[in-house]
A and B are shown apart, each in its own frame.
Chain A
């Protein structure tokens, strides 16, 4: 579980990074065990699939957010960008009636383009990431409403579309395990993102920027270009999230999306990625996203009142970050 995401470093304090993931992972296991004991309905195939399905969109968004957060930035627009990409797909497939692959490409390109804009505003105009992406969040929310005419765009004319999230390639091979494709997409995005972070120059600069931007600049690296690239990749991943949610709902819901960035950031933070940049892993984020959905699902299965579900989730976020602080102090 460690080798896929750590940037190929085996000595020294990376162990503590692995330790933190272990910590988050242990937390996840503890939750699963706890809920399984508390209710026989929790550990059922159907329910585990429901949890994974519920994780898919937030997981993909959280992976997107992980990249920019490692650079020491933040992207508040991931939620509404996801919606925007879904709407773009709706326009391509339903309004224009173009074939499915174009809709998929369109969503990812729209995401990348939006990330390009955010990245450019941040790198070239020197607008702080928080403000730049806050602005983008609202711009994209508004554009989604404008383009869609504030009505959901349904994909009834594109029969295969909902198979992206709801179909099950795994299930057609192993009938007992109808793992939704959406979950496969999540895993695929995670693998690709982990690969990019650990094995490519883009990944290296992502960590380097979050670690000491000035030092990267003095090393003669074109930091603006790489920063823009990171935001673009984040945007493209949001495009994938847009496809997933649109496919799952069989519609592009233009009003949805705001607030989702906070769940994504929560998953990133629970997963041990530092908001001050320089460190973080995709696997940690994945576990963070799973913790959030397991918690929500388990508490619902136990019929815990909704008010208290929210309180518990808040506590878990603070605990996770506190554990991270303790770990740093011990360093």
Chain B
């Protein structure tokens, strides 16, 4: 009897606690659910920060959730389904797999809940707009910077996070296409994928460097990838040029110390902010453009402290 009471008591206590901790549903403010692709990662936390900023500014309640890894498509669907059950006023979604999300998006449409796509967007006509970075253009900028830094000739390589996601595809293509078109003397000798995992990317970088002693530079296509590239460079004592993508405390420190020359940053804070703002505009019945470009920047040691740049970098 003791055991049963103990467990039941604990479970109900947990349930109560959860209930007590839930934010009160204010009648006069919008309830907006953002379902992202990830959660712990600093990038997503910066998106969340932007969303929270807009929420405070426009007086909305915003929740932010995402699966543990970007491969857990079904877990994201469970989150979306639970969000729909909550009957929010609007939903923001960065879909891991647009097709898999379609039935639930139809359901949202049926329930008249407006959907705003963010980050890499949703392949569907249901979302009212997409708040995103133009990854192809941003990666092309990285290619330009790389060419400039290595003197317009030599071998370079790419370490990217994955070849299935939109950002992975766009950044790799944006970079390699730009090199191919504009810099005939530069050769991309290798494009490798480390799943955005720092350690794995380190090992990949080291093998690329050992296989190509005359390599001039590596482009790391997201935070985890470029941190791996920087580690690999340091471990082998190489002096190649490293161009990164995204930011984060470690990446900023590497740029400060010169291991990474510079990076492209999206504007994650802006993505979160624009998503919530677009949702509220939609709820007010305003029309939205099909794409909201949330912008990108190239930053290095020289401009990192500039107000404009510092505002979009995250730790």
**A interface, CB within 8 angstroms of B:** 19, 22-23, 26-27, 30-31, 34-35, 37-39, 41-42, 44, 46-47, 50, 53-54, 57, 150-152, 154, 156, 166, 245, 248-251, 253, 255-259, 293, 296-306, 308, 312, 315-316, 319-320, 322-323, 326-327, 330
| Residue of A26, A257, A300, A316 touching B4 (CB-CB under 8 A) | A26
Q: Which residue of A lies closest to B80 (CB)?
A: A50
A297 pairs with B8, CB closer than 8 A: no
A-B contact pairs, 12 of them (CB 8 A): A27-B11, A34-B15, A38-B22, A166-B103, A248-B74, A249-B100, A256-B74, A257-B71, A298-B15, A299-B18, A303-B23, A319-B11
| Residue of A297, A305, A315 touching B78 (CB-CB under 8 A) | A297
A46 pairs with B84, CB closer than 8 A: yes
CB-CB under 8 A from A326, the residues of chain B are: 2-3, 6
CB-CB under 8 A from A300, the residues of chain B are: 65, 79, 82-83, 86
Q: Which residue of B lies closest to A329 (CB)?
A: B3
Query: Using an 8 Å CB-CB cutoff, how does the interface string of B7-26 with A read, 1 for contact, 0 for none?
Result: 11011101111110111000
Complex CA–CA separation, A59 to B100 (angstroms): 20
| Residue of A151, A296, A306 touching B64 (CB-CB under 8 A) | A306
B81 pairs with A44, CB closer than 8 A: no
Distance (Å) between the CB of B60 and the closest chain A CB?
A: 13
Distance (Å) between the CB of B25 and the closest chain A CB?
A: 8
Q: Say if the beta carbon of B69 comes within 8 Å of chain A.
A: yes
Residue from A245, A300, A315 having most chain B Cβ neighbours under 10 A: A300
Distance (Å) between the CB of B297 and the closest chain A CB?
A: 29
Q: Which residue of B lies closest to A37 (CB)?
A: B19
Q: Say if the beta carbon of B97 comes within 8 Å of chain A.
A: yes
Interface of B is mostly: helix
B18 pairs with A298, CB closer than 8 A: yes
Given contacts A152-B97, A249-B99, A303-B63, 14 further A-B contacts (CB under 8 A): A23-B4, A30-B15, A34-B16, A44-B85, A46-B107, A53-B81, A54-B81, A249-B74, A251-B99, A300-B79, A304-B21, A304-B22, A306-B64, A308-B18
Given known contacts A23-B7, A302-B22, A326-B2, A315 and B85 CB-to-CB distance under 8 angstroms: no
| Residue of A37, A50, A248, A320 touching B100 (CB-CB under 8 A) | A248
Q: Say if the beta carbon of B177 comes within 8 Å of chain A.
A: no
Complex CA–CA separation, A127 to B74 (angstroms): 33
CB-CB under 8 A from B200, the residues of chain A are: none
Q: Say if the beta carbon of B27 comes within 8 Å of chain A.
A: no
CB-CB under 8 A from A305, the residues of chain B are: 63
Distance (Å) between the CB of A85 and the closest chain B CB?
A: 15
Q: Say if the beta carbon of B42 comes within 8 Å of chain A.
A: no
| Residue of B2, B14, B39, B81 touching A312 (CB-CB under 8 A) | B14
Complex CA–CA separation, A298 to B19 (angstroms): 9
Complex CA–CA separation, A37 to B66 (angstroms): 26
B97 pairs with A251, CB closer than 8 A: yes
B68 pairs with A259, CB closer than 8 A: yes
